[in-house]
Amino acid sequence: MRLINIKTLQLEEFTINPPQYAILSHTWGVDEVTFADFSNPSRRARRARQRKSGWAKIAGVCKQALKDKYDYVWVDTCCIDKSSSTELSEAINSMYSWYAHSGICYAYLEDVAYPSLGRRLSAREDQAWYDFGQPFANSRWYRRGWTLQELVAPRSVTFYDKSWVHIANRSEIAGRLSQITGIPSDVLGIRMTARSYPVGHRLSWAAGRRTTRPEDIAYSLMGLLNINMPLLYGEGTKAFLRLQEEVLRQHEDDSLFLWCSARGCDDRLSQLRGLLADSPDDFANFLDNRYYTFRRMERKGQRAVTDIRPSPALNTAVSVDSRGVRFDGHEKRPQVSGPENNGMWLCQMNCRIFGRPVSLYLQPVGPYRYGRARPSDIFIGSEHNSCEPAEIRTEPIILLKNDDAVRRHLLDEEHVYVSNVHEGGSPCTISTFERDGLPVRFQYVSPTSFL
């Protein structure tokens, strides 16, 4: 990694064992100082970079780090050569670790002016928070994707306003920050690590955050999820799908599937979704009610998911490939209560909420192929579900990964799948059109050909 030497204002590179350093967290502006600006050693180039508006924050972080007895600082605008795709990929895959190993992180809120209280802000000073809390909470810094890992990864985070006036330390205002961000105060107060929380919880902390490039909302979460993967700029929103696939390959955590979409379900296409989420916004149902109260927001009918605990089972497995997500050994049973649930199944996840089993609603869309039904809800059973053993199935099934795959099955003009027609226990497809005067006919298929 490269660091800025505070005394020489030059970049120095360290391959192993870098010295103690401070690190900057900020939001990018239009005239930032880049690696190319720092790489030119000429006096003219030095004067040119100091005329950029982004130089003020570099000068400010160096000045504050010097006060705190650091010799080096790291700033993302100029310590990474972004013209090298290899270096950029390595840096983004390492960034969570760089923030985690910093001595201190300075969170610079350039759109916040701290009032002259004559003292540091304390979470217990209600009047001060009443006067200052909303401008602080509404900072652009809280809405950016990259600043999430910059808030939770470092051991110490200190907030500064646009004039580098000290506001507070993260641990001092952990409860208030939890209301602002939805991140548990145990994480912000460093009593628990961020990675100790279920994957679904961690993804919910990115709900409502945005990045300039659509791929970066996924890339900014790799460190938080303890995932490494190559960057493919140009893939757009597919990056978030690929991130979830990597989570499936590297972690055993069914909370990834317990998102509840706030999207309207006005037609059949929106009532069925793929198994994997479109964006972190789908995981907002994991956020605490205090976050919604503070932000004056509503859950929009989403099922709240709190106190969730993964419960891995030795007799189940989840894998992913081009066909979808394959579930082996998960218990499935028909959901028969209510006419709207006709043909719907429940698939039990290896998670519990307040000790109660959790299941997803599934709808068959093809032989051994399912989409996620009722995507704004999950089924929470009793502590001991009552179900006839004959109704429980554990055969492998494939859940379609995304909405496009579900649409392709639903809009197929030639075949439709009917789940309750069997011949010797084997599902079949039914041709729905007459072609060249030929009548409708049934075509039986072997279930093994689909798995």
Tens-place pLDDT, residues 334-351: 765 655 556 788 999 998
Average pLDDT of the chain to the nearest whole number = 84
Q: Dump strand ranges (E) for 381-446.
A: 397-399, 415-423, 426-431, 442-444
Backbone angles phi, psi at 419, to 5 degrees: -80, -20
Q: Tokens 């504050």, residue?
A: 64
Pairing between β-strand 317-321 and β-strand 104-108 as defined by DSSP bridges = unpaired
Residues ≥6 apart with Cβ < 8 Å to 203: 221, 225, 256, 259, 277, 280, 283, 286
Q: How confident is the model at residue 135 (pLDDT cuts 50, 70, 90)?
A: confident
Q: How confident is the model at residue 444 (pLDDT cuts 50, 70, 90)?
A: very low
pLDDT for 104 equals 98
| pLDDT of 423 higher than 50 | no
Backbone angles phi, psi at 235, to 5 degrees: -80, -10
How many residues in the chain? 451
Residues ≥6 apart with Cβ < 8 Å to 345: 332, 333, 334, 335, 361, 362, 363, 364, 370
pLDDT, tens digit, 9 for 90 and up, residues 215-247: 999 999 999 999 999 999 999 999 999 999 999
What's the Cα-to-Cα distance from 420 to each of 338, 398, 417, 429, rounded to whole Å? 17, 18, 9, 11
**420 vs 174, residue with greater confidence:** 174
Tell me, rounded to whole angstroms, the distance of Cα 110 from its chain centroid: 25
Q: Dump strand ranges (E) for 195-276.
A: 272-273
pLDDT for 385 equals 53
Q: Is 325 in contact with 319 (CB distance < 8 Å)?
A: yes
pLDDT, tens digit, 9 for 90 and up, residues 18-62: 999 999 999 999 899 999 998 887 888 889 989 999 999 999 999
pLDDT for 295 equals 79
